[in-house]
Amino acid sequence: MRISIAVASKHGSTAEIAAAVGEELAASGHDVSVHDMATASVLELDESGAIILGSAIYYGHWLLPAEVFTEDLSLRLDGRPVWMFSSGPIGAPAQPDPTTVDVEDQLVLTQPREHKVFAGRLERARLHRGERAVATALRSPEGDFRDWEEIRGWARGIARALDDVHSATA
């Protein structure tokens, strides 16, 4: 099945998650393409049988390009299965609390089968001056908190779900 992954990433961490999900789905026999929401057109996803949407979380919300892209895409879904993921919480315990991620508008627009929140990465060297100041003020821990096995396992679950859908319609 053709699967499109559309992602909004500010410093590359979320794009790396999208790439890992894509690699896992491709290993399961799916035709996968990854699109940057900041530059892609929703028309590029028209031929996809399933769609995965992902965005970095800043201040509890998806990035603006992700919000705009998702709103535009919602008019073109035509019942195709959708999954969503967010990335950004860092540290132990995770900051911000993953249960406080506000993606309600995106959930209503796309009706995803699942929305998964993954831990993110914070590298102060990649941040702009203002972002570094906020990270310092909030005492945000630096490091890569992503759980790659969790990410790949989530992708394998999507592959199984799509195989089940394909088997039921064949």
**Predicted local distance difference test score (pLDDT) of residue 145:** 81
Q: Is 126 helix (H, G, I), strand (E, B) or coil?
A: helix
φ, ψ of residue 40 to 5 degrees: the values are: -80, 160
The CATH number of the domain holding residue 10 is: 3.40.50.360
User: What letter does residue 125 receive in the DSSP assignment?
Assistant: G
**Predicted local distance difference test score (pLDDT) of residue 101:** 76
Cα(55)–Cα(15) distance, integer angstroms: 8
Q: State which residues form the domain around 154.
A: 2-169
Q: What is the 3-state secondary structure (H, E, C) of 100-123?
A: HCCCHHHHHHHCCCEEEEECCEEC
Helix (H) or strand (E) holding 144: strand 143-144
Q: Which amino acid, one-letter code, is at 46?
A: D
The pLDDT tens digits along the chain (170 residues) read: 999 999 999 988 999 999 999 999 999 999 999 999 999 999 999 999 999 999 999 888 899 999 999 999 999 999 999 999 999 867 666 665 566 678 899 999 999 999 999 988 876 677 668 766 766 676 766 778 899 999 999 999 999 999 876 555 55
**Predicted local distance difference test score (pLDDT) of residue 63:** 94
Q: How many domains does the chain contain in total?
A: 1
Q: Note the pTM of the prediction, 2 decimals.
A: 0.88
φ, ψ of residue 107 to 5 degrees: the values are: -65, -45
